[in-house]
């Protein structure tokens, strides 16, 4: 009798574990990665009278942050002489309902706001200086395959503002 009981328990457990694993997997499947995740390339152009500002070809990588669905990690590079140079990284706020990214920052005496609107495989954004909302940069990028651009710099080369 005990042998039959052990076999029965073993059968129930072996059937229940795959069902539970499938259910936990389906919960994860209902939470797709934000559409901004990936690599984007395009132009960042200067606006206004800022002699130090230079137009750039940029590559942005956006990564999800575990446990923070409204935060996206932004790695910003510019391409100089065929190589990617890191410009920095930041944690951006992601509003999935609006398809918008934003990051308000203060670096030295500069206080600004980056904002991006995501539209499938294109993204447009601006950098404005606060509090006057002076437009400094306009960015237009397209989603690309990471293999279609020079290799990314090592993660430790990115500075946080």
CA 29/CA 103 separation, integer angstroms: 28
Q: How confident is the model over 145-157, as pLDDT tens digits?
A: 999 999 999 999 9
pLDDT of residue 19: 40
Give the number of domains in the chain: 2
Question: Model confidence at 21, in pLDDT bands (50, 70, 90)?
Answer: very low
| pLDDT of 7 higher than 60 | no
The encoded tokens of residue 130 equal: 């606060």
The encoded tokens of residue 66 equal: 């575990």
The answer to whether residue 161 sits within a structural domain is no
- 88 and 24 both lie in a single domain: no
Q: pLDDT averaged over the chain?
A: 84
Question: Model confidence at 23, in pLDDT bands (50, 70, 90)?
Answer: very low
The encoded tokens of residue 44 equal: 């960042």
- 14 and 43 both lie in a single domain: no
Give the residue carrying structure tokens 């500075």: 159
CA 105/CA 160 separation, integer angstroms: 11
Residue 78 sits in a domain whose CATH number is 2.40.128.20
The distance between the two most distant Cα atoms of the chain, rounded to a whole number of Å, is 89
The answer to whether residue 159 sits within a structural domain is no
- 14 and 47 both lie in a single domain: no
The residue length of the chain stands at 161
- 16 and 61 both lie in a single domain: no
pLDDT of residue 33: 67
Cβ neighbours, 10 Å, residue 109: 5
The encoded tokens of residue 32 equal: 């797709």
> Residue 46 sits in which domain range?
38-150
Give the residue carrying structure tokens 């390339």: 41
pLDDT of residue 31: 55
């Amino acid at each position: 009798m005990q042998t039959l009981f052990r076999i029965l328990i073993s059968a129930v457990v072996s059937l229940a574990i795959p069902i539970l694993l499938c259910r936990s997997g389906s919960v994860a499947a209902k939470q797709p990665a934000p559409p901004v995740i990936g690599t984007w390339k395009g132009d960042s152009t200067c606006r206004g009278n800022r002699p130090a500002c230079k137009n750039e070809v940029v590559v942005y990588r956006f990564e999800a942050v575990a446990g923070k669905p409204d935060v996206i990690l932004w790695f910003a590079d510019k391409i100089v002489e065929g190589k990617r140079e890191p410009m920095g990284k930041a944690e951006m706020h992601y509003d999935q309902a609006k398809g918008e990214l934003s990051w308000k920052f203060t670096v030295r005496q500069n206080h600004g706001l980056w904002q991006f609107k995501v539209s499938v495989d294109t993204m447009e954004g601006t950098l404005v200086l606060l509090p006057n909302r002076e437009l400094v940069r306009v960015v237009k990028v397209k989603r690309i395959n990471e293999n279609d651009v020079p290799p990314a710099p090592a993660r430790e080369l990115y500075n946080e503002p």
